[in-house]
Amino acid sequence: MDDMIRLIEPSIPSLRRYARALVRDATEADDLVQDCLERAIGRWSQRREASDARSWLFSILHSLAVSRWRRLGRRGREVSLDDLDEADLAERATQQDSVNQSDILRSLAALPQEYRSVLLLVGVEDLSYAQAAKVLDVPIGTVMSRLSRGRARLAQIMANGSATQVRTPHLRRIK
């Protein structure tokens, strides 16, 4: 049990951050993390020895997030860009930084989920390309191409100044 705590606990802050950046609502994000931790505890003995705990935890969290999207029926992106609460995410920054940070979070939210996950896992959570590939269950080549496209898209959205301008209608899913 101590082993389990020692290996899981250090990842909790990162898991919270990843969940928050993916689903944005703070309560929902923490619910997702709680779900993830419960599963991790339950499946600890079934974990393959060789796999590292950190990317194993991210895999569980990621698949929970994916099934949540499926359940909600919005696969490409989150619905509303107006309900962002990025202000409190960026509370410690100076004003100019905080404007940039709000912009980037708003732009990130406008990205398709596949790009968002890669940018977060690699760029923020410091997973290696191989670890990210395992978490997302795709080949490394796919991680690299999503990274390249995702970064370009993000820059493009930032350059357009307003995330709402790139809300392309054909990407919205209608149930």
Partner 1 sequence: MSAPRPISEDDLQAYVDGALSTTRREEVKAYLDAHPEEAQRIEGFVADRATLRAALGAIAEAPIPPELGLRALIEARRARQAYWRPAIAAAAVLMIGGLAGWTARGVVTPPINGVGALSREAADNYRVYASDVHRPVEIGPAQKAELVRWVSNRVSSSVEVPDLQAAGYRFLGGRLVSTPHGPAALFIYDDAQGLRLAVMVRPMRVEKNTAMSEHAEEGLSGVSWATDGIGYSLVGPTPSAMLHPLADNVRRQVERHM
Query: Does 34 contact partner 1 by CB under 8 A?
Result: yes
- 66 or 74, CB closer to partner 1? 66
Say if CB 167 and CB 161 are below 8 A apart.
no
Smaller CB separation from partner 1, 26 or 74:
26
Query: How many whole angstroms separate alpha carbon 76 and alpha carbon 109?
Result: 10
Tokens 């990843």 belong to 18
Nearer to partner 1, 6 or 173 (CB): 6
Cα of first residue to Cα of last residue in the chain, in angstroms, is 44
Residue 68 and residue 36 in contact, taking contact as beta carbons nearer than 8 Å: no
139 conformational bin, left if phi > 0, alpha if psi -120 to 50, beta if neither: beta
Figure out which of the listed residues 23, 53, 65, 101 binds partner 1, where binding follows CB under 8 A. 101
Nearest distance from C-beta of residue 157 to partner 1, angstroms: 10
* 14 touches partner 1 by CB under 8 A: yes
129 counts as binding partner 1 under rule CB under 8 A? yes
Q: Is residue 87 a contact residue for partner 1 (CB under 8 A)?
A: no
Q: Cβ 134 to partner 1, closest distance in Å?
A: 7
